[in-house]
Amino acid sequence: MEQHFALLEAAVSCGSPTRGTQLAYDALVRAGLASMLDAVCYPMEKLEPCTQYPPHLLHLDTVMTVSRRLRASLLTALNRGQLPIVIGGDHSIAMGSLAAMGEFYGAEHLAVIYIDGHADINTEKTSVTGCIHGMDLAAACGLCCDELTVGRQKVNLLGKNLYILGGRSIDPPEYGILESQGAHLYTPEQLAGNGLRRALAEILPQLADKQVHISFDVDSLDPSQFSSTGYLLPNGLTLGQAKTILESVLGTGRVRCFECVEYNPTLDCGGRDIRSLLDVFELVSRLWKDC
């Protein structure tokens, strides 16, 4: 049976300090993404940031509402046999996507390829900012408070099955969390030259018996390559490196969900970056369907 793409919106920006990423889905649909994918669309209501919240969990109610709605939409798409592509929003939405993936496939069977300039594995106790977009992986691993639990399971991801590529802005406590969880971190320096080939040679065999979720944060890219995001971190990945990662992981035939986060269309005045994203989505859709 032919599988169809599902295009899921996760409209939130208040998991981060900046605003604008909640508009990414609309901008990409206007640019032709839904028609390019011939996708079934799952739009989401835009919510205002809540005004009352604990200082260590900023805009908690709004962030959690979006993640819970995304979980429900993603479970629907998975149950229908669709190929889900999630458009954030800030990276807090990964709490919702990983909750759905962990429930559907089982935490022990789920692997995550996390292409990001950050580790996003702070807990509410280690985070300096209180921004939940930096806690989504910790929440998925069951390390956070009950307020950050989405869905039926506390643990939706085992740290040993987490591969972060491109991380270069890591908070000191996160290094300890990554080590204790057995997670794998590959910095841009480690991926330079032949480093990316070596890293993929280590990672890909570990995906052979897993269901794979790819989470692509555009701040993994060097600002010279992509600048329409709230975090411009120097010494990032090139678009070519990101595409090589996607090609290699999709080539395993194990990918079950792809998400893209932190694109801010209000910063994309010339439209360069949305064209780059459409090129990425074309690559993902072509390779995914071929598998």
Q: Taking each helix axis as running N to C, give the angle between helix 239-250 and helix 272-290, from 0 to 180 degrees, rounded to the nearest 10.
A: 20
> pLDDT per position in the chain (291 positions), as tens?
568 999 999 999 999 999 999 999 999 999 999 999 999 999 999 999 999 999 999 999 999 999 999 999 999 999 999 999 999 999 999 999 999 999 999 999 999 999 999 999 999 999 999 999 999 999 999 999 999 999 999 999 999 999 999 999 999 999 999 999 999 999 999 999 999 999 999 999 999 999 999 999 999 999 999 999 999 999 999 999 999 999 999 999 999 999 999 999 999 999 999 999 999 999 999 999 877
C-beta of residue 97 within 8 angstroms of C-beta of residue 213: yes
Query: How far apart, in Å, are the Cα atoms of 201 and each of 101, 188, 196, 209?
Result: 25, 16, 8, 16
pLDDT at 3: 80
- Class of CATH domain 5-290: alpha beta
Phi-psi sector, 81: left (phi>0), alpha (psi -120 to 50), beta: left
pLDDT at 32: 98
Tokens describing residue 199: 């890293």
- Order the strands of the 83-88 sheet from edge to edge: 40-42, 5-10, 83-88, 255-261, 211-217, 110-115, 162-165, 184-186
Sign of CA dihedral 208, 141, 11, 234: negative
The residue assigned the tokens 């991380």 is: 167
> How big is the chain by its Cα radius of gyration, in Å?
17
Query: How far apart, in Å, are the Cα atoms of 270 and each of 32, 65, 207, 227, 265?
Result: 17, 33, 38, 11, 10
Q: What gap in Å lies between CA 185 and CA 178, rounded to an integer?
A: 8
Burial of 187 (0-12, 13-18, 19+ CB in 10 A): middle
**Global confidence as pTM:** 0.98
289 contacts: CB under 8 Å, gap ≥ 6: 3, 83
Q: What gap in Å lies between CA 159 and CA 171, rounded to an integer?
A: 17
E strand segments, 35-160: 40-42, 83-88, 110-115
In the chain, the amino acid numbered 32 is: G
Domain segments of the chain: what residues? 5-290
